[in-house]
Amino acid sequence: MTKKEKGRLVVQRLKECYPASCSLVAEKDYELLFATRLSAQCTDARVNKVTEVLFAKYPTLQALADAEEDDIAEIIKPCGLFRTKAHDIKLGAVKLVTDFGGKVPDSMEELLSIPGVGRKTANLILSDIYGHPAVVADTHCMRIAGKLGLTTGGRDPLKVETELSKLIDPAEQAPLCHRFVHFGRDVCTARAPKCEVCPLSDLCAERAKALKKKKDA
């Protein structure tokens, strides 16, 4: 079986089990941008609780741009790395207002010019806001794609993104990444994967290696 063939099967099976939905709650383009920034080393559930308070206090992009950085930091403190994230949110809001007319841009180059925005965040915006094909190489995506044997990039987001973009149909790239998140929390967890109920167990390169090692022992 080629990697492309395996990729198609992975897409098909996860499509039957999980929705292609983002776990972060956001109503506006900049809300998704900043929620994704807050999600670094933090759970989406906690981010959603924090952004509910943050966006209620600062209901517009201009309000966030005018906010005191320390006030933003105090609200987002539960997300960790709060001072760095508050700095990025403040500067990001100012840049969106001054350089982009209050709208989140739709190109990788422009998105990467915003403080705190990396390729993962940019690809999420390009796919979820603008509908472009994009691989969101977050921790779930990198870990699961590697275990399945679809990628060899390990924890290198750009390498994983590049490898998956060659294997997965453009229309399925972003949806698959969302499904990887749901799958990674539900079955293929980092600490205790539930291989016995995994819909991809027969496709998993890591499991195949483990079974072979056990057989040869």
Task: Give the residue numbers annotated as catalytic, written as ranges.
Answer: 120, 138
**CA angle at residue 154 from 150 to 159, to 5 degrees?**
75
The span from the first CA to the last CA of the chain, in angstroms, equals: 26
Which residue intervals of the chain are DSSP H helices? 3-17, 29-38, 44-57, 61-66, 69-76, 82-99, 108-112, 119-128, 139-148, 157-167, 170-186, 205-216
Backbone angles phi, psi at 176, to 5 degrees: -65, -40
Question: How many whole angstroms separate alpha carbon 165 and alpha carbon 150?
Answer: 11
Residues 6+ apart with CB under 8 A from 215: none
Question: How many whole angstroms separate alpha carbon 210 and alpha carbon 175?
Answer: 29
